[in-house]
Amino acid sequence: MIKEYIHCPFCGVTLQKGLIDHKKRKYCPSCDFVDYKNPLPVVFAIAVRGRRLLLIKRGIAPKKGMWACPSGAIEIGETPEEACLRELKEETGASGEIVRLVGVIKVEEEEIYGDLLALGYLVKLADGELLCGDEVEDVRFFNMSGLPDSYVDLFRKEIEEIQQLEL
């Protein structure tokens, strides 16, 4: 369930609904808080070694049990590139270097977070052992032609293009 404010997070008064900046939004009648809704910026590591793509089996919602690229939210103070490499390290133990931004897409995530603004980075992985992060059930390489059935299918066009490149 995507959580919504019922009370003002600053003064606790019950929020009301009204037209603000041409959109129906919740606002606090007591202070100047307006519950603006903005997409959450998240990063995805399209992490490759040769022609193989590193995926995690997600251990937590959303999409628990599905295979996906390592991903997560950008923390305050981080660049998106730093967030991408941090999430990759936390979830898989792998290090790598950012090659380039491959795409920016809108994702409608319906379990928890609502709309996401997803930035996909191509990451060239360094050699080294993999591990399974705390929020991860499994970590494995896949050939790009044989992605698992239960797969969070984002950046497909970009991944197919990457497949054509020498890495």
Q: Quick check: 36 binds Zn ion (CB under 5 A)?
A: no
Give 152's Cβ-side CA count (13 Å radius).
22
30 binds Zn ion (CB under 5 A): yes
Is 28 among the residues that bind Zn ion (CB under 5 A)?
yes
CA–CA distance, 88 with 11 (Å, rounded to integer): 38
Q: Output the smallest distance, CB 15 to Zn ion, in A.
A: 8
Q: Which of 4, 16, 20, 31 touches Zn ion (CB under 5 A)?
A: 31
For residue 119, which amino acid is it?
L
Quote the CA–CA distance of 81 and 26 in Å, as a whole number.
34
Q: Is 34 in the site for Zn ion (CB under 5 A)?
A: no
Q: What is the DSSP code (8-state) at residue 33?
A: -
Q: Which is nearer to Zn ion, 5 or 10 (CB)?
A: 10
Q: What residues numbered 1-20 form the site for Zn ion, per CB under 5 A?
A: 8, 10-11
